[in-house]
Structure 1
Amino acid sequence: MSQSIERAIEVLVLLGEGPQTPAEVARRLDVHRSTALRIMEVLQGQRLLRKLADGRYGVGPGIVSLAHRAQDQFNLAQLAHPHLVALSELRDQTVHLAELQHDAIVYIDKIEPKRSIRLTSRIGQAACLHTASVAKCILASLPEDARQALFEHYVFEKHTPTSLLSYEALERELRTVRERGWATDDGEREDYVTSIGAPIRDVTGQVVAALSVIELKAIHDLGSMQQLMLEPLLETANAISRDLGWNS
């Protein structure tokens, strides 16, 4: 029975790539055509597959209905929270999760360290677009016109000596973010903290959020943070992305 279930899952995955005939499915799974056809007919009976006019089989309406009904189980903050807690506990650091909401990038979860020193950021607060590493991760993935619209009336305030002060300077940094796949905030909003951020992708591969790990510079500077935390940060971002359906 378990082998039949495995075969059925394999068939669904194959046909998710595009319609195929029973013979094509049989070759891909290395099974007899009659075995493939029997599985496909059972899945068709449950509306998980549909037979096309040319004899091929494709994904059926039951899959669409199931995916739609299951959407509520894929709340980003709920899925990501255990991953954020585990990342924070590695070195007792603050961890942020943020997503684009209309014209702002908003923190939707935050894990506080156990130490008494806490940062002023809070859930529901908008991240600073030209300084926060989570903001840079999300901005770097946006189409240029959508990114420009966010900055139409934006003021590049100088918070610290390392703050970026123009859209052109930010664009140069975002090119770097796209090339290497992660972002930094080297004391650009608060000169006593540093952070590194990584993008989170959905099932289509689109960046839908970002997470960051933040530390006091007195404990770890940017170079030390990258050495200690970049690998676990990227692993955490990829794990959350996989939970959202992304196949890296």
Structure 2
Amino acid sequence: MSESRPAPGAQTLARGLRALELVAHAPDGAAIQEIAAELDVHRSIASRILSTLAEARLVVRGGDGRYRTGAGLAALGAGIHSTLRAAAEPAMRDLAVELNATVSLLVTEGPEAVALAVIEPPSSGYVLSFRTGSRHPLERGSAGLALLAAGPARAGEPEAVTAVREQGYASTFGEVEPGAYGVAVPLEPSDGIPTACLNLITYRPEIAESAPPLLVDAAKRVAAALA
């Protein structure tokens, strides 16, 4: 019996998706030859794949000849992010009220943690806040640790990430905002949804100490809403 092989159309689709993934993860963009080498195809084939992706506005070719993600990909991502926000925001609002602290939803974007949604408590007093779209390196802060822990274990990963995976939450002090406590819980992986976490920031140590079980329960609610 002959060995089963993917149909030409399926193989082309797989290559296109892989090329898009390679471009999305290249901080300085990707050249045609680099894509060809990764796909193990001739340069002309890689060029056709990238041209097709460019026609769909999923990638764009810069003046330096390198390809970077385009507006079409951002539009697709916006739909996914809307689904995640809709599932998370009710639980986030409840947390913000119960703990009287700012709660945020962060996702992984390359090597950074990015705030997708921020909910402040409905209080007239002073609260610690930051803007939607704020970002910081994954290696810093409770949210970064939680996002790293949401992925598979890696050889040589920081001990702090392993600890988060074991205890179910991350807790840091002053790593992103001076003098502030951060507590974060990774969200359970869900098909089609980016790696994400719920994060709380506060200047009050007693709130940070009481937050982990409430964040864990909130993360379960979000997972149920996404199921």
CA contact (8 A) 1:195 1:225 kept: no
Q: Counterparts of 1:115-194 in structure 2 under 5 Å?
A: 115-143=124-152, 171-194=158-181
CA contact (8 A) 1:134 1:212 kept: yes
RMSD over aligned Cα, in angstroms?
Answer: 2.9
Separation in 2 of the partners of 1:192 and 1:84? 23
Amino acid at match of 1:178: R
Q: 2:99 aligns with which of 77, 91, 103?
A: 91
Q: Counterparts of 1:54-133 in structure 2 under 5 Å?
A: 75-113=83-121, 114-133=123-142
Matched, 1:244 2:226: yes
Separation in 2 of the partners of 1:140 and 1:241? 16
CA contact (8 A) 2:180 2:201 kept: yes
Deviations 1:104-135 (A, max 9, x none): 22100001132442435210111342322111
Amino acid at match of 1:193: A
Deviation at 1:196, TM superposition (A): 0.9
Aligned length: 148
CA contact (8 A) 2:128 2:201 kept: no
Separation in 2 of the partners of 1:209 and 1:175? 17
Separation in 2 of the partners of 1:190 and 1:73? 25
CA contact (8 A) 2:112 2:144 kept: no
Rg larger for:
1
Structure 1 residue runs of 5 or longer lacking an equivalent are 1-70, 149-167
Structure 2 vs 1, CA of residues 207 and 137 (structure 1 numbering), >3 Å: closer, same or farther? farther
Separation in 2 of the partners of 1:215 and 1:142? 26
Structure 2 vs 1, CA of residues 144 and 91 (structure 1 numbering), >3 Å: closer, same or farther? closer
Separation in 2 of the partners of 1:193 and 1:97? 17
Structure 2 vs 1, CA of residues 172 and 122 (structure 1 numbering), >3 Å: closer, same or farther? same
CA contact (8 A) 1:196 1:225 kept: no
Provide the residue aligned with 2:216 in structure 1.
234
| TM-score, normalised by the number of residues in structure 1 | 0.52
Q: 1:212 aligns with which of 199, 202, 227?
A: 199
Deviation at 1:189, TM superposition (A): 2.6
CA contact (8 A) 1:202 1:244 kept: no
Amino-acid identity (%): 23
